[in-house]
Amino acid sequence: MRSFVRFFGQLHIQVLLAIVIGGLIGAFDPKLGVALQPLADGFIKLIKMLLAPIIFGTVVTGIAKLGSIKEVGRIGLKALVYFEVLSTLALIIGLIAVDWIKPGAGMNIVPASLDATALSGYTAAAKSHGVLQFFMDIIPTTMVDAFAKGAMLQIILLSILFGIAIVQLGKRATPLVDILDIFLQGLFKIVGMIMLLAPIAAGAGVAFTIGKYGISSLWSLGELVGVMYGVAAIFIVLVLGSVLRLVGFSLFAFMRYIREEILIVLATCSTEAVLPAMMEKLEKLGCEKSVVGMVLPAGYTFNADGTCIYLTAAAIFVAQATNTHLTLTDQLVVLGVLLLTSKGSAGVAGAGFVTLAATLSTMNAIPVVGLALLLGVDRILNEARALTNLIGNGVATIVIAGWENALDRDRARAILAGGRVGRNPYGDNPERHGLGQGTERVTIGFGPSRGQ
């Protein structure tokens, strides 16, 4: 009996059961499935209300413990280079796959026959969506405004500036850093309470998707959906798996470690819903707080690998479906434009659609109205791109932490192998934080219900 309770007490088991139940509700009672959507939305809102203070506190305390402005700059530069290389590779892979399989060929869609009414919200947002506007939006109107809007990049900018100021204050800032650290521990306790609702949110999200769009929507554009999921799987296994192997870890072991987050993202189509949990897990894995705080939130904007795959695949699919001929030069132009516009989708509702609409509007070669073909399966496609984004950013954090000697490798191997170890907040190099060999290391136990 005890083993039965322990088995069903695991979060990922509860989420799996909820997904199955939600799927059945959506299939047999679509109206009820659609009506359950507020449960998923409410869960995401509960998590989002904590994102701003968690990101701010994590980045500030992480930089303060680094104690070196040069190290902050080096980590940031390495992260940006890594993001650019991986996202460019994702764009290229998506382009090659859709060119090879040609999922839109033979559809013979006449653009004038498509109803563009449903696209009005996306195309309106696309008009103000551009690279220059993106960089201007990084600067908040006021500090309070950044937190009120939950603008991630603005919060990261403020956090870095404040963290650098803390470093310059030296020992005088120690009490403030201690207060922020305690504040963060309290926030993560709240996250733990909210995560108890994850099974309900996951079940509601699946019930809504199936209830609103039905299984038939998956088959109506099945070849594109198959391309997206297939390319995402190849990218995760071959590219991300190889990158993670370079620092000595198994991708599948890491995916098992974050299985709860993977299931929640698949059900809710939201990576933000698991950002606090991912930050906590990566720290427990042995990544230093400074690296986690800088790399993971920034990756949500600059390292959206799944979104990059979707952008090239969807753009060329629309061209194929509407019999729009694109030369190799045209496709390279699409790729070049996407290299810029794909970085400007943070914090925008329907980010993938807005970015795609902005790109097609810039090109003037592929009819923007062709995006109407994707509306029916956009949420299904979003599951693949959100999952790829999640895993990609987790891998990026581990890799950059490894490059920076800011990763406790022995601890990470033990945890990924299914072990239970204490928490070492200083990684395998305590001297980075001005700590001598005699410094006491804090150990906090954590149980299997959190994915260990």
Least reliable range by pLDDT among 28-32, 180-184, 377-381 = 377-381
Cβ-proximal residues to 399 (8 Å cutoff; 6+ apart), any chain: 82, 243, 244, 246, 247
Contact present, 56 and 276 (Cβ < 8 Å): no
pLDDT category at 127 given cuts 50, 70, 90 is low
Assess whether pLDDT exceeds 70 at residue 418. yes
Contact present, 304 and 342 (Cβ < 8 Å): yes
What would the mean pLDDT of 246-271 be, rounded to a whole number? 87
Least reliable range by pLDDT among 65-79, 200-214, 400-414, 419-433 = 419-433
The angle subtended at Cα 435 by Cα 432 and Cα 438, nearest 5°, is 135
Phi-psi region of 447 (alpha: psi -120 to 50; beta: other; left: phi over 0): beta
Closest CA relative to residue 94, chosen from 240, 287, 270, 308: 308
Mean pLDDT (the chain, rounded): 76
Tokens of 401: 């932490």
- Residue that wins the pLDDT comparison between 423 and 97: 97
pTM: 0.72
Assess whether pLDDT exceeds 90 at residue 273. no
Q: Which domains does the chain have, with CATH numbers?
A: 10-419 (1.10.3860.10)
Integer Cα distance of 356 and 362 in angstroms: 10
Assess whether pLDDT exceeds 60 at residue 218. no
Residue reference for tokens 């070849």: 223
What would the mean pLDDT of 145-163 be, rounded to a whole number? 80
Highest averaged pLDDT of the listed ranges 6-10, 71-75, 341-345: 71-75
Question: Containing H/E element for 172?
Answer: none
Assess whether pLDDT exceeds 70 at residue 313. yes
Give 407's strand partners. Answer: 287
Helix, strand, coil percentages in the chain from 3-state DSSP, rounded to 5 = 80, 0, 20
Assess whether pLDDT exceeds 90 at residue 394. yes
What would the mean pLDDT of 369-379 be, rounded to a whole number? 70
Cβ-proximal residues to 433 (8 Å cutoff; 6+ apart), any chain: 65, 66, 67, 426
Highest averaged pLDDT of the listed ranges 373-377, 390-394, 444-448: 390-394
pLDDT category at 238 given cuts 50, 70, 90 is very high
Assess whether pLDDT exceeds 90 at residue 253. yes
Instruction: Look at residue 280 and give its three-state secondary structure.
Output: helix
Q: What is the pLDDT of residue 170?
A: 80
Assess whether pLDDT exceeds 60 at residue 425. no
Assess whether pLDDT exceeds 60 at residue 438. no
Assess whether pLDDT exceeds 50 at residue 68. yes
Question: Containing H/E element for 392?
Answer: helix 378-403
Q: What is the pLDDT of residue 257?
A: 92
Assess whether pLDDT exceeds 50 at residue 450. no
